[in-house]
Amino acid sequence: MRENIAGRSNVDDTPQLRAYYKELETLESGALWTVANEIEPWFPQPRSVPVIWHYDVMRAHVLRALSLVSPEKAGRRVIYLCNPQRRDVSAAVGWLYTGLQVMNPGEVASSHRHSASALRFIMEGSGAYTVVDGHKMTLGRNDFVLTPNGTWHEHGVSEDGSTCIWQDGLDIPLMNALDANFFEVHPQLAQQVTYPVDDSTDKYGSPGLRPATGSWSHAYSPLLKYEWEPTYEALVRHARVTDGSPYDGVMMEYINPLTGGPVMQTLGASMQLLRPGEKTQAHRHTGNFVYQCAKGQGHSIINGKRFDWKERDIFCLPSWAIHEHANGSDTDDACLFTFNDLPVMRALGLYREEAWRDNGGHQTIS
C-alpha cells in the first residue's frame, strides 16, 4: 500500500524489487517499506464491527442448551457471542470475549482457574452463586461479580432457585494473543467455602470506609461482588448534583476500594445512567467495550449506524468507533453496564479520546 506523502512508504514496484522480495521471503524476512503503511496506520483500524445481540432472540437458543448438554460434559454451558470479523479468535470485540451461561437449580460447574480475568453480570433467575478462592457470593439480578485471573472459581444455582442466565466477560483472546493462557481444573472438582457467605461485601462494600485491620496483597479488588441496588442508588444520587458527561451521561466506574483503580488489571467495568430523553454527543476513544442494557431502552449510533436496545440486549463498541447514546423514554432513566479493556490501554499509555465536532456533535445515520 503506497502513499504519496512525505515520510510514508511510496516505493515503485519493479522486476528487480519483486525478485529481491522473493529472495527475502526464502530467509523468512521482508522489506519493511512493503508493509509499513499497513501495519502503522494513521489511526486505529479495528477489524471488529459493531454488533448487537437481542436478548429476546438469544434467550430461546440459550435455554435450548439445557436439554442438549450438561455442565459436566460442557465444562461451562455457555453460548458465546462472536463478532463476524473476529471468529478466528472467538472474540466479541477486539480482544474481549463474552457469552451467556445458563444453569438449572442444583447444578454446579466444576471449579477451575485460568490466566484470563473474568466477570459475571446476572441477567435473570434466582439462587445463583459464585465461589472465588473460598469466598461465596450470592447473586441477584444486575449484580456484577469478579473471578480474577489465577483464582479458583465455580458457579452454581441453589436447589431452591430458578433457572439462571448471566453474561460472562473475559479477556481470553488477549491472553491467547500474548501466548500466556493457562487453564486448570480443581483436583477435587469443587472447592471448600472457607469464609462467611458474602464476606467480601460485608468487609469492603461500605462506601468511603475500609477495614482498619487485615491485609490484601492481590492486584485485583477485594470486593468481589458489586450489587445492583447500591450501584443504581449511587447513580441516581450523583445525577442530582451533576450534569454528567456530554458523551456518556452520568457514569460511574466500578473500582478497587483499596486503590481507587480498576477492579482487575486487564478488565474494567462501569455503569452509566441516561436521564429521560437524554441524547449524548458523539465521541470516540481507544479501547473496546461490551455493553448490556441493565435498565430501560434506547439506542446507540456507532459509526453512523443505529442500534436499538432494551433491557438485557448486548452490543459491542470497537476501538476508535464514533458513538453516541440516547434514552428512548421521556419518563424513565436508562442504564448501560459495560466491561472494557481500558486498564490495558491506560497502563500502556495508549488511551486517547476525541469529540466529534461535525453536525453539532451528532452523527448522520447512514
Distance CA 271, CA 231 (A): 8
- For the sheet with 289-295, list strands across it: 52-53, 314-317, 289-295, 334-340, 268-274, 250-253
**Number of neighbouring beta carbons within 10 Å of residue 86:** 23
pLDDT in tens, the chain (366 residues): 789 999 999 999 999 999 999 999 999 999 999 999 999 999 999 999 999 999 999 999 999 999 999 888 888 899 999 999 999 999 999 999 999 999 999 999 999 999 999 999 999 999 999 999 999 999 999 999 999 999 999 999 999 999 999 999 999 999 999 999 999 999 999 999 999 999 999 999 999 999 999 889 999 999 999 999 999 999 999 999 999 999 999 999 999 999 999 999 999 999 999 999 999 999 999 999 999 999 999 999 999 999 999 999 999 999 999 999 999 999 999 999 999 999 999 999 999 999 999 999 999 998
pTM: 0.96
Q: Find, among 329, 332, 325, the residue nearest to 279 by Cα.
A: 325
Locate 366 and state its grid cell: 447512514
- Domains in the chain and their CATH numbers? 52-210+218-356 (2.60.120.10)
Cβ-Cβ contacts under 8 Å for 353 (sequence gap 6 or more): 283, 284, 285, 286
Distance CA 297, CA 11 (A): 52
pLDDT for position 147: 98
